[in-house]
Amino acid sequence: MHGPIAAKGPSLAAQACSAIERLILAGQLAPGERLSEVALAARLKISRGPLREALRLLERDGLVVAGARYGGTFVRRLDAGEVAELYDTRALLQGFCCARLAGRASAADIALLRRQIAAMAEAIDDAEAFYRLNVGFHRALFDAAGHRRTAAIYRGLEKESHLGRRQTMRHGDNRRASNDEHRAIVDAIAAGDAAAAREAGEAHVLAGKRRWLAGLVG
C-alpha cells in the first residue's frame, strides 16, 4: 500500500506519477489492468486533478494507454514485436555505453559495479530483489558512462521494457546466467577493452531477449 503524497517538494502530479510508476514497475499494477481514478486518488490521498495530470505523464512515457478507443486508462501491455524491438534497441545503447565506459571508468566505478554484482549473487534466490538490483546495475553503467543523452533514452526504454521483461527473471537459471554476463561486462570494462566491453554489453541484452523468447514458447 502506497502512503499519501507529500505536500512539499515536487508537484503533486509529479509525485503521483512517480508513485504510480513504482506500482507498475513493481508489478502491483499489472499490464492490461484498468486504472480507476477514484481508487488511485484514494490510494495516494490526492485529488483527481493532479492524478489525471500524472496519468498523462505516464501515457507520455509509454507506461499507460488512455482514451475513448481503449475505453478508459490501462497499464500498457506490450505485444511481442514491441518487446523484441526494445531488446534490440537497448542492446545497441548498452554496447555503446559499455565501450565508452571501458575508456573512462574509475576504480570507484568498477568497485561499485562489482559490489552490485555481489549483491545480485546474494539475492539469487529472491526474484524481486534480484530484479531491483539488476535495474540498479544497468542504471549505474549508464550513469558512469557520462553520456546524458544516451542515459535519458535508455531510461525511457527501460520503463517500457519493465512491462515485458520481468517474467524472465522469475527463473533462477536466468538470474544466474544474467549475473555471469554482468561479470563479463565489468571484466571487459576494467580491462579497458572497449571492443570486448561493447560486445559483452550487447550480448547480455540479446541473451535476455533469447531468454524472453524461450519463455514465450516454454
Domains belonging to the chain, first-starting first, are: 12-75 (1.10.10.10), 80-217 (1.20.120.530)
- Range 41-50 average pLDDT: 92
CA 93/CA 198 separation, integer angstroms: 9
pLDDT digits (tens, 9 = 90+) for 127-157: 989 998 999 999 999 999 999 999 999 988 8
Q: Which of 68-82, 144-158, 184-198 has the lowest mean pLDDT?
A: 68-82
- Strand-pairing partners, residue 74, are 34, 65
Residues 201 and 97: beta-carbon distance below 8 Å:
yes
Confidence of residue 113 (pLDDT cuts 50, 70, 90): very high
Confidence of residue 4 (pLDDT cuts 50, 70, 90): low
pTM of the model: 0.80
| 38 CB-side CA count, 13 A | 0
- Read off the C-alpha cell for 64: 499507460
**pLDDT for residue 10:** 64
CA 178 to chain centre: 15
